Structure 1
Amino acid sequence: MTEQTFGRYPADTLKADGLRSAGGLAVTLGPLALVGFDAHPLVAIPLLTGAGLFLWLGLRTLGRQQTQYSLRSDGLGFQTNFVAAILRWDQITGVKLRYYSTKKDRSGGWMQLTLQVGRRRHSIESQLTGFDAIAARVAELVLERQLPVDATTQENFLSLGHYINPS
């Protein structure tokens, strides 16, 4: 297998997440800034907790913006400005594929592929360029190594056109 390098997550997806993060920080930290951070703890703690979550979303979005993936013969490579790593195929111990719907009729949403290596997990969302190729390789891996997967993961792979034998 030759190495296939994929781009990053689409800019429009990341832009929306960045705007959500900035808006959330403004809504949570804005009131605290207006009162000079002397708010009562019953008000300050929930606002600071919310601000922490929105900060995490912003940092996660920034990290996703910097990450580039490559499908390699020995594993799935990913690289940021600071870190380069490979999730080796022979070390993957678990696979989950989940669908998250944004509408009641399930017409909108995204998939999240989670690869487990020991206790560490790495998730990839379907907005990533090349997600289908990565999912196809992981489906082959599940069949080759007879990795245990749950019924939901089997159904989601099937919706992508990959049949995985029940384990």
Structure 2
Amino acid sequence: MFTYPLRSLLGSYLRALFGVTLTLVPLLLLNPISVIVYLLVFLLCAFVWYGLRAILRQFTCFEVSGAGIVMSGPIRRHIKWEELDGFNLNYYSTRRDREAGWMHLKLKGGGARLSIDSSISGFEELVRLVSQAAAENGLVPDKNTARNMQALGITRPDRRPSVAFGTANQ
């Protein structure tokens, strides 16, 4: 089972709380002009949304089996491995030298989409399992995904001839 550890979510909770406080206090204590009110309300909504996403992540887990991957929690989705028809792994850097950042795995198949970021426990193993399932379906990762998999030390198992990313052999 793959879950988001509470310590990885703590920063998100603190940022959301800081943002809500920073926008709500002026709205309650001051009498800002209308343009500023609209801006503060917009920012307040954005920080509340950010906090809600952190809460959703805290209660979300991913289970992997031979049949597929299941996301359970407040929102439930699943993708059967044989229905996996697309995946990508992106890296988002927080510095110019690309030394700090996070990865984001996106899966699609069977009408469902799953989005998982690298703060989840066992992220590398999860990417490895997805890579194996994708190879069995004849999916070839794009150059960016292949480079990011290589950065994680994951070599793609070639089980079928190459096909374009996102399409399976017909």
Q: TM-score range by the shorter chain?
A: 0.7 to 0.9
Aligned amino acid, residue 151 of structure 1: K
Give structure 1 stretches of 5+ with no counterpart: none
Counterpart-to-counterpart distance in 1, 2:15 and 2:142: 33
RMSD of aligned alpha carbons: 1.9
Equivalent residue in structure 2 for 1:17, among 12, 20, 45: 12
Determine if contact 2:105/2:115 at 8 Å carries over to the other structure.
yes
Separation (CA, whole Å) in 1 of partners of 2:109 and 2:45: 28
Question: 1:132 maps to what in 2?
Answer: 124
Hey, which bits of structure 1, 4+ residues long, moved more than 6 A?
A: none
Question: How many Å apart are 1:135 and its aligned residue?
Answer: 0.4
Report the more deviating stretch, 116-125 or 98-107.
116-125
Of the structure 1 ranges 118-127 and 63-72, higher mean CA displacement relative to structure 2 is found in 118-127
Counterpart check, 1:42 vs 2:35: yes
**What's the TM-score, normalizing by structure 1?**
0.85
In the TM superposition, what are the counterparts of 1:15-94 in structure 2 within 5 Å? 15-35=10-30, 39-80=32-73, 82-94=74-86
What percent identity do the matched residue pairs reach? 32
Matched length: 159
Write the deviation string for residues 143-166 of structure 1: whole angstroms up to 9, x where unpaired: 111225321111111212223466
For 1:118 and 1:68, the matched residues in 2 are separated by 19
* TM-score (norm: length of structure 2): 0.84
How far, CA to CA, are the matches of 2:140 and 2:127 in structure 1?
16
